[in-house]
Structure 1
Amino acid sequence: MKVTLIPVTPFQQNCSLLVCETTGRAAVVDPGGDLDMIQREVARQNVTVEKVLLTHGHIDHCAGAKTLATHYGVPIEGPHPDERFWLDKLPDQSTRFGFPAADAFEPDRWLQDGDTVQFGDETFEVYHCPGHTPGHVVFFSRAHRLALVGDVLFAGSIGRTDFPRGNHADLIRSIRDKLWPLGDDITFVPGHGPTSTFGAERRTNPYVADGVGA
């Protein structure tokens, strides 16, 4: 599988283009904006977009989802139903953060903990990881030892929980109970900034390293 990160919006959010190299089928994860950049990369790689995947409903992750899905004629899958609160507030979010106007929408498929999503020959497991937002999900490829974690975890930090319906205790539980058991060798793509591994964060992350808060 080929993974291309496309930082979009003034928040430099890591939109991911995931390509099944066997079939040339692709998924776009968290297209928050700058759709021209995303479409150019899809065309450059000459791949077929099969679906749009969303980790959560903050505007820098999902503002372009409906437009992009309509452009390619594909479904939107994710996040978890508890994220309806944020998707319904997209018009308010666009005003608050100075984004182009964004309409509320509903994904074609809400995702639950334990679901899977597929494109081409690739399969990702779905983990409901609330805390940053109530309906946040993480996508995990067991075959490639790769997780797309949105704003749950960053290299050296964790997601904010001061937004409405954020919960710090839930976030810590999501990381320690859902992510860490997947393995120290897992490489993860965060919503912002560089990639890292779960093992590195367990050793050095000042918020969730082993022993912190014990």
Structure 2
Amino acid sequence: MSLQYQVVPVTSFAQNCSIVWCDSTNDGIVIDPGGDVKQLAMLIDELGVNVTKVVLTHGHLDHVGGTKELVAKLQDIPVIGPHKDDNFWLQGLEGQSQMFGFPLTEAFEPTQWLDEGDEVSFGNETLKVYHTPGHTPGHVVLFSESARLAFVGDVLFNGSIGRTDFPRGDFNTLINSIKTKLWPLGNDVTFIPGHGPKSTFGHERASNPFVADEMPM
């Protein structure tokens, strides 16, 4: 029994949408369907994954823009997350669409908000939820203890960190989220960022100019 995943870059922002599933049941989730829903739906079909919910790390358009369309294609499955502090981003999706030149995306509310300590389950797999504000105030990270794998949205990147110049973003809050929520999970944890290639927490602790530390490896 193990966690499987496939990362699909979507939209002009090359946002990493992740299809994640339990290989013993084929039940799964889609994390951050920002767009290109036809491509996502075809791949879900090819993989044979029974998607039971959509999970959002935060409310930015390139991560959530395809949510309503994908949910409609998959027969009204629930939308889980992000943390309720990102509601203002979801309610402002029409404005975000115009700002970034995306197709008009209507505001929506998820079926369920996520809080620190919640769990997202599918098949025999469980992801733990960590509230990681800084890039946005309601950002969450999803962590699989068994797979030593984290889906971190726009909190941390390979060699960089999320932007903090958006409304209610805050640099010090983001650094604190990374160092107090992510690092304790372990240097061996692989993470899938919202954009760009994957990395490990240990690699970023050793080399990322924003958050490298002096911890022994």
TM-score range, shorter chain: over 0.9
* CA-CA distance at 1:66 after TM superposition: 1.7
Equivalence for 1:97: 100
Q: Give the letter aligned to residue 165 of structure 2.
A: D
Question: Which of residues 195, 199, 203 in structure 2 aligns to 1:200?
Answer: 203
The alpha-carbon deviation at position 85 of structure 1 amounts to 1.0
Cα RMSD, aligned residues only: 1.0
The residue that corresponds to 1:179 in the other structure is 182
Determine whether 1:128 maps to 2:128.
no
- After TM superposition, where is structure 1 displaced by more than 3 Å over at least 4 residues in a row? none
Number of matched residues? Answer: 212
Q: Partner of 1:202: helix, strand, or coil? A: helix
When normalised by structure 1's length, the TM-score is 0.98
1:147 shift after superposition: 0.3
- State the distance in 2 between where 1:145 and 1:211 align: 23
> Which letter does structure 2 place at the counterpart of 1:16?
S
SS at match of 2:30: strand
Deviations, residues 102-141 of structure 1 (Å, cap 9, x unaligned): 0000000000001001111110000000000000000000
Q: Quick one: percent identity of the two aligned structures? A: 57
Equivalent residue in structure 2 for 1:147, among 143, 147, 150:
150
Tell me the amino acid that sits aligned with residue 32 of structure 1.
G
Which residue of the other structure, out of 36, 40, 43, is the alignment partner of 1:41? 43
Compute the displacement of 1:70 (Å): 2.2
Structure 1 residue 19: Cα displacement: 1.3
Unaligned residue ranges in structure 1 (runs of 5+):
none
TM alignment of 1:17-32, pairs within 5 A: 17-32=19-34
1:30-50 per-residue CA deviation (whole Å, 9 max, x = no partner) reads 000000110011011112111
Q: C-alpha separation between the residues in 1 aligned to 2:123 and 2:89?
A: 30
- What amino acid sits opposite 1:145 in the alignment? R
